[in-house]
Amino acid sequence: MTSITVSRIRQQQIALLIADGKRLDGRGLMDYRPIQIETGIIEKAEGSARVRLGKTEVMAGVKIGIGEPFSDRPDEGVLTTNAEFVPLASPEFEAGPPGEESVELARVVDRGIRESEAIDLKKLCIVPGKKVFIVFIDIYVLNHDGNLIDASALAALAALMNTKIFKYEVKDDEVEIKPGFTKLPIKNYPIAVTFADINGKLVVDPWLDEEEVMDARLTMTFDKDGRICAIQKGEAGTLSPKQVIEAANIAKEKTEELRKLLVKD
């Protein structure tokens, strides 16, 4: 997700090591970097989380508003996801309206949450056809060292799990806020796993230098029941059916591992 040029010598190092089943940073091909997750870090947000994936750092905040439902879903709340690439996070990030990369990031994260039905949107209906809760997820990339998708998906889910909604009463179709809070109704836990294809070899959790030399990127999101709920392919290279099947089998195992960081038995 950046155009910083990796030297040809370093490209060769990365490719040769991966061909031999190794990586420049010492990881195995299917190993994630260390992951740290903190929640409740933004006092004025209804929910928030920060994820550190190696040196990649992402923060997600959740705000709850009240608005009208979509006309074709009158009894469901609304979900909206945005991503912002903070200029300090990378020399390649610039201030201004969202670019293609930030739009893609937001859409991939949103799709995993939406298609897994992570939030019980029907429980966010206040007055059918008139008033519903709107869940705003804002993702901020604070430091970019590769694999923004997985870090952002984890941060968004952790923030949603941390989210509280104010209690209320409805009088004459008007919402009266009451003391206290309830938890956001979460019923699924989608986890994204991203692969880079480098010279025909798949690696999990590509860091920035690997992203610079990868031929293709593949993200698979699985729900808590082990079902694929979102897939996103990036970059110009192609993936064989065998690679896609291999990736799906690996991603299913990895999502179970990552989910344990958030969902305690």
For the cut 70, the answer to whether the pLDDT of residue 1 exceeds it is no
For the cut 60, the answer to whether the pLDDT of residue 63 exceeds it is yes
Q: Where is pLDDT greater, at 98 or 32?
A: 32
Structural domain contains residue 1? no
Structural domain contains residue 2? no
For the cut 60, the answer to whether the pLDDT of residue 2 exceeds it is no
* Amino acid (1-letter code) at residue 204: V
Q: Which long-range contacts (CB under 8 A, 24 or more apart) does 181-184 make?
A: 184/46, 184/47, 184/62, 184/64, 184/119, 184/135, 184/160
- The predicted-structure confidence for 214-263, as pLDDT tens digits, reads as follows 999 999 999 999 999 999 999 999 999 999 999 999 999 999 999 999 99
Q: How far apart are CA 112 and CA 192, in angstroms?
A: 8
Structural domain contains residue 52? yes
At residue 265 the predicted structure's pLDDT band, cuts being 50, 70 and 90, is low
In this prediction, residues 2-23 reach a mean pLDDT of 79
Cβ–Cβ < 8 Å for 203, 210:
yes
- The predicted-structure confidence for 77-101, as pLDDT tens digits, reads as follows 999 999 998 887 787 777 766 788 9
**Alpha helices, DSSP H only, in 66-175?**
100-115, 148-161
How many domains does the chain contain in total? Answer: 1
Instruction: Report the b/e string of 18-31 with b at 16+ CB within 10 A.
Output: beeeebeeebebee
pTM as predicted: 0.93
Domain membership of residue 184 as a residue range: 8-259
If one counts every other C-beta atom within 10 angstroms of the C-beta of residue 234, the result is: 18
Report CA-CA distances (Å) from 31 to 22, 34, 167, 206. Answer: 10, 9, 43, 10
The domain that contains 202 carries what CATH number?
A: 3.30.230.70
Q: How far apart are CA 228 and CA 116, in angstroms?
A: 9
Structural domain contains residue 264? no
Tell me the angle at which helices 100-115 and 148-161 cross, rounded to the nearest 10 degrees. Answer: 50
Structural domain contains residue 76? yes
Predicted confidence at residue 6, as pLDDT, reads 60
Structural domain contains residue 3? no
- The predicted-structure confidence for 154-212, as pLDDT tens digits, reads as follows 999 999 999 999 999 999 888 999 999 999 999 999 999 999 999 999 999 999 999 98
Q: How many CA atoms are closer than 13 Å to the CA of 178, on its beta-carbon side?
A: 10
Structural domain contains residue 184? yes
Structural domain contains residue 265? no
